């Protein structure tokens, strides 16, 4: 039977250039999480590697792996051993020349419960993801686990209310965002703070407008541009866990490796939706233009 109180965790970390080192750190955090009674663990976006999308280099496609594959097999064993639901984030090799930014969900018995392929793919200075990733084609469908129905989205998806709403309408009980986002050191402190607050605000707003808890796990640490074309990225960490009214249950520092833990009362989803019945009052008869790019 699904628990009403769910202890969850996010593994915020600075990534090494060595995938084995990163996985060893993750293994240590999973063991700590299990010892603390955690039932669901969210890992950050593309946690096996440094953020290779800072440059367009065809050799980076060698980092991709199949699903199932080496990392899912490794984390599957960790999930089974610790009885944890694990949400991981991988560079998926689907076929020759076809790659995705993919989240995989491993249930607490080690089985592969499902996967989500990133739908919104950015192309900005320092974030050349369109070079590497084909947009997702699995839609916005929650993945059923022993911890509940998980609405898993990835990084750039977090800015789109449509994605969170569609997950909610399909029955998601939590929204989860593995993320890799940070600052350009050329931006002044005021601008950096605006960006961070916007990032937190938009995701907490998804919690409010859908009456669902949100877990956002972001990487930390500085990563140089391997080709020297920019100042690199200082990932701002600040992972957080929020309740269904956007209330902060836990928040990580900006620059620290941390296992962030919080207890989520899933029964509050129902209570909040009764007092704020946004789904009841939606004007679905008037939303046809949402499928247009722009109304001229």
Q: What is the pLDDT of residues 27-40, one digit of tens each?
A: 999 999 999 999 99
Q: Which of 53, 92, 115, 118 is catalytic?
A: 118
Q: For residue 1, is pLDDT > 60?
A: no
Its pTM surpasses 0.75:
yes
Residue 2 annotated among the catalytic residues of the structure: no
Helix 19-35, helix 70-82: angle, nearest 10: 20
Query: Residue 31 burial by CB count (10 A; 0-12/13-18/19+): exposed, middle or buried?
Result: middle
Contact 45, 219 (CB under 8 A): yes
Residue 9: predicted pLDDT: 98
Average pLDDT (132-148) is: 98
The residue assigned the tokens 């060595």 is 18
Q: For residue 191, is pLDDT > 80?
A: yes
Residue 155 annotated among the catalytic residues of the structure: yes
Residue 227: predicted pLDDT: 84
Token readout for 111 is 């089985």
Give the pLDDT confidence of 77-126 residue by residue, as tens digits. Answer: 999 999 999 999 999 999 999 999 999 999 999 999 999 999 999 999 99
What mean pLDDT, rounded, does the chain reach? 96
The CATH superfamily label for domain 5-291 reads Carbon-nitrogen hydrolase (3.60.110.10)
Average pLDDT (257-265) is: 97
Residue 45 annotated among the catalytic residues of the structure: yes
Domain ranges of the chain: 5-291
Q: For residue 49, is pLDDT > 80?
A: yes
Task: Give dist(CA 86, CA 107) in Å, integer.
Answer: 7
* Residues in the chain, total: 296
pLDDT band at 3 (very low <50, low <70, confident <90, very high): low
152 in helix, strand or coil? strand
Q: Which of 45, 129, 173, 223 is catalytic?
A: 45
Q: Which of 115, 155, 173, 223 is catalytic?
A: 155
Distances (CA, A) of 212 to 60, 81, 134, 267: 36, 29, 29, 10
Residue 230: predicted pLDDT: 82
Give the pLDDT confidence of 216-253 residue by residue, as tens digits. Answer: 999 999 999 988 878 899 999 999 999 999 999 999 99
């Amino acid at each position: 039977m699904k628990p009403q109180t769910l202890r969850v965790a996010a593994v915020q970390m600075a990534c090494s250039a060595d995938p084995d080192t990163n996985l060893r750190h993750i293994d240590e955090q999973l063991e700590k999480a299990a010892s603390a009674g955690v039932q669901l663990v969210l890992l950050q976006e593309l946690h096996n590697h440094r953020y290779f999308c800072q440059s367009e280099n065809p050799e980076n496609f060698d980092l991709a792996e199949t699903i199932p594959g080496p990392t899912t097999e490794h984390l599957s064993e960790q999930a089974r051993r610790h009885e944890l639901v694990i949400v991981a984030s991988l560079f998926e090799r689907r076929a020759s020349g076809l790659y995705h930014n993919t989240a995989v969900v491993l249930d607490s018995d080690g089985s592969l419960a499902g996967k989500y392929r990133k739908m919104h793919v950015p192309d900005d200075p320092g974030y050349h993801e369109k070079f590497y990733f084909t947009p997702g084609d699995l839609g916005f469908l929650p993945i059923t686990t022993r911890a509940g129905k998980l609405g898993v989205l990835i990084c750039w998806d977090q800015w789109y209310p449509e994605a969170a709403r569609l997950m909610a309408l399909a029955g998601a009980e939590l929204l989860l965002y593995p993320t890799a986002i940070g600052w350009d050191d050329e931006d002044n402190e005021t601008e950096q703070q605006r960006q961070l607050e916007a990032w937190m605000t938009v995701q907490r707003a998804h919690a409010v407008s859908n009456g669902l808890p949100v877990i956002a796990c972001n990487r930390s640490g500085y990563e140089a541009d391997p080709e020297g074309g920019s100042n690199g990225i200082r990932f701002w960490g600040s992972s957080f866990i929020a309740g269904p009214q956007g209330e902060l249950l836990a928040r990580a520092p900006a620059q620290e490796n941390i296992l962030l833990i919080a207890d989520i009362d899933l029964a509050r989803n129902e209570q909040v939706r009764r007092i704020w019945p946004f789904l009841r009052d939606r004007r679905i008869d008037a939303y046809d233009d949402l499928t247009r790019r722009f109304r001229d």
